Amino acid sequence: MKLNKFWFIIAAVFLIGIAFTMVADNEFYFYATYAVMQLMIMGIAWNILGGFTGYVNFGSGGFFAAGAYTTVFLHRAFDAPPLLIAVLVAPMVCGLIGLGVGYFTLRLKGVYFAIATLAVAIILETIVVNWEFVGGAGGYYLLIPENVVFFDSYIEWLFVLILAITLIAIIVSRYLNSSKIGQGLAAIRDDELAAESMGVPTLKLKLISTTVMGGLMGAAGAPFPYFITFVEPVSAFNLLVAVMAIAVPMIGGTASWIGPVIGGLLLGTIQETVTVNISSELNLLIVGVVLVGFISLAPQGITGLYQDFMRKRRKGND
Amino acid sequence: MTEPILSVTNLTKRFGGFVALDGVDVSLGDKERLGLIGPNGSGKTTLINCISGALYNEQGKVNFEGSDVTGTTASSRAKLGIIRTFQIPRPFRSMTIIENLLIPMEYAASGRMESRNLRDQAMESLEIVGLQDRADENSANLTQIDMRRLELARALSAKPSLLLSDETMAGLSSSEVDEVLDILFALNGRGVAVIMIEHIMRAVMKYSERIVVLDAGKKIADGSPDEIVNNRDVERAYLGE
Amino acid sequence: MIELFINAVVAGVLLGGFYAAVALGLSIVFGRLDIVNIAHPAFVIIGSYMAFYVNENFGLDPIVTSFLFLPVFFLLGIVMYRFYYVCFERTGQESLSGLAYFFGIMFIIEVLIILVYGVDYRNVQAPYIGHSLWINDWIPLGDFRVSLPYRMLVPFVVAAVVTGGVYLYLSKTYLGRAILAVSQDRVALQLMGANPIKVKQWAFGIAIATAAIAGALLIVIHPVEPSVGRLYIGRVFAIVILGGMGSISGTFFAALMIGIAETLISTFIGPSWAPAAAYGILLVTLAVRPQGLFGRA
C-alpha cells in the first residue's frame, strides 16, 4: 500500500511538471525550479555516501563539474549531440570516477577519505584548467539549439529533464535506503568493524555507495552547461557546490531518503528568494550559518526534529 | 577427537618488527569448548583477529570446515559461520536491539536462514540472552551487561558454527559472569564450537574442555584444565621466575 | 637548465618553510588531538586580512602585527574548541558532524571576508618586499645566478623560528608534553594530573595562534583573496600526513618536500599544474603509505 502511494506521488509530480510547462509562460519559474532541483539531486547524491554510509565527501564540486565537462567534451567532440546522450554518459563517467576514488581511499579511515575527495576535486579542476579542448581556464560557450521538439523553449525541456533526473535520484536513494543494501550501509556507518564481522561485505557496499554518489552528481552536472550556456572551471568546481551538497541533507536529515528531499526544497527555496530579493553574498552567508546551526543544534535535521516532536506528542497522549 | 572444524597451522603475525604471533598451531573439534588464556600482550586477541579475518597473517594457514580461508575477508568468513564478539561491545548504535540482530541475519547467515519470519527468529535469539522484552529499545543506551547480552544475541543470529568470544565477561559482577556462562553453554548446546578468551580463571576453568596458553606470541601449553593448572611453564609465564 | 633547477629548488625550500608555518597548527590539532580542522587555512586567511588591515591603516609591519595579535587568535582557538567539544566531541558525533562543522566554519569565514573586503586581491607594504639577496655576491658560483627574494626569505626565517619554538615548547614544557600525550596516552596524562579537555583547549589555542603568523607570512609572499585558503587545505593535510601525523620535525621536512615539488613542477611543466602537485602527492600517500613518510608506523 505504502509502496503504491510512493509511486503514485512520483508519477503525479512528473505529470504536474509536464502540465506546468504547458500553462506557465514566465521562464523565471523554470530557471528557479531547475536550480532547486539541481540542488536536491546533489543533496540526495551526497547523502547516499555521507548520510547512509557515514563517509563525508568534500569533493562534490569535482563530481558535479566532471558531469558538466562530460557534456562539454561530447559537445565539442561529436558536434553537439543531443543533450540526452550526455545525460546518459555523464553518470557513467562520474560513477567510474567515484568507483576509482572509492577503491583507492575507502580502506582508510573516514577522515582521510574526506580529504582525498577534496584532493580529487582539485586535481580534476587542474586537469580541466589545462585542457584546452574543453575550453581550459577561459571556459566554453554552448549555443542552445533553437528548435526543441514538443516544448515551447529550451528551458522547459531542461526543466522536464532535471525533473526526471530528480525523480530517478529519489527512487534510487529510497531503494538503497530501504533495501538490504541500505541496512548494510547503516551498519557500516554505525561501526564498520562490527559490520564486517557480521558478514556485511563492507568494501563492496562502500564501492556501490561511491559509484552511485558519483553517478548522481554527474547526472546533476550534465545539463548544467546548457542551463548556463557558458562553463568555466571556477564556477563549475565552485566550493559552493560542495557546501550545498552537504547543507541539503544536514538540514533535512541524513538518516533517511526523505531528508535531502525536504532539505533541498527548503534550502533551494530560501536561496532563490534571498538571491532575487536581497543579495547573493548574503545568500551564501545564510547557507553557511544555517548549515553550522543545524549541525550543532539539530544534528538529525528536520526529519529528526519531526520525529522527536511526534514522540513527545505520543507520550503526551498516553 | 573428531575431524577438526578449525585448524590453524604455523600462524605468524608481525606488526612492523614486533612478532605478535610466532608459529602458532591450534585446532578445534566440532562443538568443542576451547579456552584461550595468556598474560596481557601474549597475542590472544591477535589470534582471534587472524582467525576471524580482521587481520591478515603473513605466514601460516587457517582451515575452516575443510577449506582454506587464509587471506579471505572477515565478512566472507562470517558467511561460513566464523563469528566473533568484541572485547568492548560494538552495537550498531543507530538501530534498535532487534535491528542489530537483523544485520547478521541478512548478511552473515543469509544463505543459511530458515524461511520463517526473520523477526520471530531474532526474538528467539533475544530470549536466549534475556532481552526479549526490550527488542525495540535503542541499542545506544544499554548498560554494560545488556551490551554484552546484545553482543552475544547478535553473534547468535549470525548462525555461527564457531564462536570467538573475546573477553565477553570483563568488568562484570560474579552473578553476571555466571549468566554469560549460561548463555555460552546454551550456545554450545546448540552445536556451536566456542573459543573463549578470558581473564576470569574461574569462568575459563568451568567452561573449557581444553585450554591453550599463549605467551609472547608462542603456544606454551595445550591440554585439559587440570593439566594446565599443574603445568610449570604456565605458572612461570604468569608469575615470572 | 641547471640554473633553473637550482633556483627552483632554492625557491622550493623557501616556499616549503612557509608551508610548514601554515601546517604547524594543523599538525598539532589533527596529528595530536585527532580533530579534523579543515578550516585551519581559513584562519590563516583571517591572519592575512588582519595583517593587511593594520598595514593599510597604521603602516605596521605585517609580521610584527601578527605577533601582537597572537593572544586574540589564541582566545579564538579556545572558543572554537569549547564549541566543538560541547556540540560534537562530548556526544561522540565528531566523525560526521564535526567534519561538516569545520567545513561550514570555513565557508562562513570566506563569505564574511568577501562581504567586508570583496573578492579583489590585497597586498601589504614592507621594506623587504621587492628586493632579493643574490647568493653570487657571497659565494662564487661561476655562471649560475641564484637569488633569494626577501619576501620569501623573511617568511622562511620566521617560519623556521616559529616551528623550532613550537617544537621546543612541546618537548620541554609540562603543558607541551601533556599535549603530546593527550590522544596517545591517556594513562600518562592521568599520571601527570592534567585534564584532557583543558589540554586540548590549550593546544587548539596555540594551533590557531600559529595561523595568525602564517597568515601574515602568506600576505608577504603573495597577494591574498578570500578563497586562497582552499588551495592550502590539500597542501597542509598532505604535509601533516606525510610528516607522520603530529611530528613537528616531520611536518617541517614534509613541507620542504611539497614546496620543492611545487616549484619544480611550476618551473618545468607550468604554474597552472602546481596546485595539483600537493594533492597528487597526498593521494598517492594515502593509497600507498597512510602512516606518512616520517610516520610513527
CA angle A248, A211, C236 (to 5 degrees): 70
Residue located via cell numbers 593521494: C283
- C237 CB neighbours in chain A (<8 A) are 115, 118
Beta carbons of A194 and B75 less than 8 angstroms apart: no
CB B213 within 8 A of CB B228: yes
pLDDT band for C204, please (50, 70, 90 cuts): very high
**For residue C205, pLDDT beyond 90:** yes
- Domain residues for A212? 2-238
The predicted pLDDT at position C294 comes to: 56
| Whether the predicted interface score ipTM is above 0.90 | no
Q: How many helices (H) and strands (E) does chain B have?
A: 9, 10
pLDDT tens-digit series, residues B78-130: 999 999 999 888 999 889 999 999 999 989 888 777 777 888 888 888 888 88
Who among C88, C108, C287 is closest to A285 (CB)?
Answer: C108
**Percentage above 70 pLDDT, chain A:** 95
**In this predicted structure, what is the pLDDT of residue C99?**
81
Report yes or no on A272 lying in a domain: no
Are B105 and B118 spatial neighbours (Cβ–Cβ below 8 Å)?
yes
* DSSP structure string for B113-141: --SS-HHHHHHHHHHHHT-GGGTTSBSTT
> Are residues C275 and A126, on separate chains, in Cβ contact within 8 Å?
yes
pLDDT class of A57 with cuts at 50, 70, 90: confident
pLDDT of B193 strictly over 90 = yes
Q: Which domains does chain B have, with CATH numbers?
A: 4-81+160-239 (3.40.50.300), 92-158 (no CATH)
Q: CB of B91 within 8 Å of any CB in chain A?
A: yes
Hey, are the CB atoms on A108 and C114 less than 8 Å from each other? no
pLDDT tens, position by position, B197-214: 988 888 888 899 999 998
pLDDT at C230 over 90: no
**CB spacing of C103 vs A284 below 8 angstroms:** no
CA nearest to C115, candidates A32, B191, A279, B107: A279
pLDDT of C240 over the 60 cut: yes
What share of chain B has pLDDT > 90, as a percent? 25
Contact B94 A186 (CB under 8 A): yes
3-state helix, strand, coil in chain B (%, to 5): 40, 25, 35
> pLDDT digits over B36-75, tens only?
988 888 888 899 999 999 888 888 889 898 889 888 899 9
pLDDT at C280: 84
* Mean pLDDT for chain C overall: 85
Among A29-33, A137-141, A211-215, A265-269, whose mean pLDDT is lowest?
A137-141
pLDDT at A235: 80
Query: Beta-carbon neighbour count of residue A3 at 10 Å?
Result: 8
- Which residues touch B36 (CB under 8 Å, ≥6 apart)? B44, B47, B48, B195, B196, B197, B211, B212, B214
Find residues 139-178 of chain B whose CB sits inside 8 Å of chain A: 154, 158
pLDDT band at A318 (very low <50, low <70, confident <90, very high): low
Q: Which residue has the higher pLDDT, A217 or C138?
A: A217
The 10s digit of each residue's pLDDT in B118-149 is: 888 888 888 888 888 888 888 888 888 889 88
Q: Do C286 and A112 touch (CB under 8 A)?
A: yes
Residue A249 belongs to some domain of the structure: no
Residue C271 with chain A: CB contacts under 8 Å? none
Percent of chain C with pLDDT over 70: 90
Q: How far apart are CA A80 and CA A141, in angstroms?
A: 12
Burial label for B100, CB within 10 Å (0-12, 13-18, 19+), is buried
Q: Over range C174-186, report the average pLDDT.
A: 77
Could you tell me whether strands B82-84 and B162-166 are parallel, antiparallel, or unpaired per DSSP bridges? parallel
The one-letter code for the residue type at C24 is L
B121 at interface of A, judged by CB pairs closer than 8 A:
no
Mean pLDDT of C202-208: 93
By the CB < 8 Å criterion, does B84 face chain A? yes
Q: Residue B101's pLDDT is what?
A: 92
pLDDT at C186: 64
Closest residue to A194, CB basis, from B73, B92, B110: B92
With respect to residue A275, please indicate whether it lies within any of the assigned structural domains: no
Establish if A248 belongs to a structural domain: no
Task: Point out which residues pair with A91 in neighbouring strands.
Answer: none
Instruction: Residue C178: count other Cβ atoms within 10 Å of its Cβ.
Output: 22
Please name the chains neighbouring C, where neighbouring means 3+ C-beta pairs under 8 angstroms.
A
pLDDT at position A40: 94
Number of domains in chain A: 1
**Does residue A92 sit within a domain?**
yes
Q: Which of B140, B126, B129, B117 has its CA nearest to residue B98? A: B126
Which is higher by pLDDT, B182 or A317? B182
Say how many residues make up chain B.
241
Q: Which residues pair with C147 in a beta bridge?
A: C134
How many whole angstroms separate alpha carbon C231 and alpha carbon C222?
A: 14
- Residue C213: pLDDT band (50, 70, 90) is very high
What is the distance in angstroms between the Cα of C167 and the nearest Cα belonging to chain A? 25
User: Which residues fall within 8 angstroms of residue A275, CB to CB, at 6 or more apart?
Assistant: A283
Residues near A16 by beta carbon (within 8 Å), at least 6 away in sequence: none
* Res C296 pLDDT > 50: no
Is pLDDT at B1 greater than 60 in this prediction?
A: no
Which among C35, C91, C95, C107 is the top mutation candidate for probing chain A, defined by the most A β-carbons within 10 Å of its own β-carbon?
Answer: C107
Average pLDDT, chain A: 86
The average pLDDT across C247-251 equals: 89
Q: Which of A118, A120, A247 sits opposite C233 (nearest CB)?
A: A118
- Whether the pLDDT of residue A98 is over 70: the answer is yes
* DSSP string for residues in C120-138: S-B----TTTT-EEEGGGT
Instruction: Report the C-alpha gap between B120 and B100 in whole angstroms.
Output: 14
- Residues C265-279: pLDDT tens digits? 988 888 888 878 888
Mean predicted confidence (pLDDT) in A231-260 = 86
C146: enclosing H helix or E strand: none
Is the CB of B75 less than 8 angstroms away from the CB of A187?
no
Contacting residues of A for C95, CB less than 8 Å apart: 54, 56, 110-111
